[in-house]
Amino acid sequence: MKNSEFAELIAYIAKRMYMCGAETRLIVQTSERVAKAYGHQASVVVTPGFIGVSLKCPASGGNDSEPAGECSSFAKIEHGGLNMHNLVTYTRLCREAEHGLLTQDELKQKLGEIRSFPYNPFLMIVLIGVATASFSVINGGDIPASLTGLFAGSITMAAKILMQRYHLFDMFIFTTCGFVGTISSYWIGTEIFDLSRYNLAVAMVVSLLLLVPGFPFINGVLDLFKGYIAMGTVRLIHTLILISSVSLGIILAFSILPINGW
Amino acid sequence: MTFTDYLLDFVFSAIPAVVFAMIFSTPVKYLPYVALGGSVAHIVRTVCINDFNIGIVGASFIASITISLMFIYLSPKLKAPRPVFTVASIVPIIPGKYAYLTLLSIIKMQDATEKKSSAY
């Protein structure tokens, strides 16, 4: 493989790891270690807009013989869905490359063969409902509150999956889910189960807890404390925007409902 | 809290952690470890709050440290990046109500300020 193609491959690995939800230090370290495994010295820079890779390449022989030199590559960051299965696969392939089990061409081929592994959406809707009910139990709610959380959580997740299928704007999805979750939990809690004030509050809160953006928030804090201030700040602002979107949906719901808050 | 309460807490706090991990397509073979992590996090926080009278902030801090140390040891053995386990494991201890309440309170405060100024 030519040095310029290898630089593009390193940039591709870093970009895909970013899209899967890896923290910046993991991206930088993994990319640089893969480059080192093939005899190159890489400097990887992750910015909010793109990833830059600068390679110091040794002289190579064979059909693709090249003198020693430097080359660089950039990869524009695209925002994709977080996917831990892909992240695990990328790190496993990088580890195999580091141990000398893959050539550069084999690594590129295997990276191109990786496919997403989403769980069945209907299974997720049911499990989200069960998780919401469990949240209600551990937050002190009774059985009717947990059942309210189960149904409201399922409805909220179904709305989220439906809107994500149409690739709608993230903030719009979270605002709508906040609205739908609050309205549905209030309606189910008062009309069907006739919950007390405390249990209604628990049910209304837990139906939205799975909208909390955990990965961007934690990755943002990790980046801040590990020296990647710019990336950490961007991730935390993104988290703040998502939480604000959910809060906006909740406020819109409270403006319609006959209650003022939890 | 009785032993039964702690046991129920242990079981019910595993479920949100596993489901949160499944939302982000975590492979099935890692889900038991995520469940264990979620349960340990919530139990540690509950014990700190109820038995040692530590506040929620301190208890959450101790629970997070426990989970981090646990998966710093386990994740190299499982050959998976640590955030795959730790992020989902601390979901049961996220007090999400306070995050939303903070923003709602800011907006209500702004609303109250505007009403006061319009009274003049």
Quick one: what percent of chain A has pLDDT higher than 90? Answer: 39
Whether residue A135 and residue B16 make contact (CB cut-off 8 A), yes or no, is yes
Residues of chain B with pLDDT below 50 are 117-120
Whether residue B27 and residue A84 make contact (CB cut-off 8 A), yes or no, is yes
Residues A105 and A189 in one domain: no
Whether residue A219 and residue B83 make contact (CB cut-off 8 A), yes or no, is yes
Q: Residues A121-153: pLDDT tens digits?
A: 899 999 999 999 998 888 888 899 999 999 999
Q: Distance between CA atoms of A28 and B80, rounded to whole angstroms?
A: 16
Render B35-57 in DSSP notation, one character per residue. HHHHHHHHHHHHHHHHTS---HH
Residue B107 lies in a domain: no
Residues A108 and A150 in one domain: no
Residue A100 CB contacts under 8 Å (≥ 6 apart), including other chains:
A37
Provide the number of structural domains found in chain B: 1
User: What pTM was computed for the model?
Assistant: 0.85
Residue A18 lies in a domain: yes
ipTM field: 0.85
* DSSP 8-state secondary structure symbol assigned to residue A226: T
Residue range of the domain that includes B32: 3-94
Interface test mutation site (partner A, options B7, B31, B77, B87, max chain A beta carbons within 10 A): B87
Q: Residues B19-39: pLDDT tens digits?
A: 999 988 899 999 999 999 999
Boundary-marking domain end, from A66, A86, A112: A112
Residues A164 and A205 in one domain: yes
Residue range of the domain that includes A140: 121-256
Amino acid occupying residue A103: T
Q: Distance between CA atoms of B47 and A148, rounded to whole angstroms?
A: 28
Q: How far does A215 lie from chain B, in Å, by closest CA? A: 6
Q: Residues A43-94: pLDDT tens digits?
A: 999 998 889 999 888 776 666 566 777 888 888 888 777 888 889 999 898 8
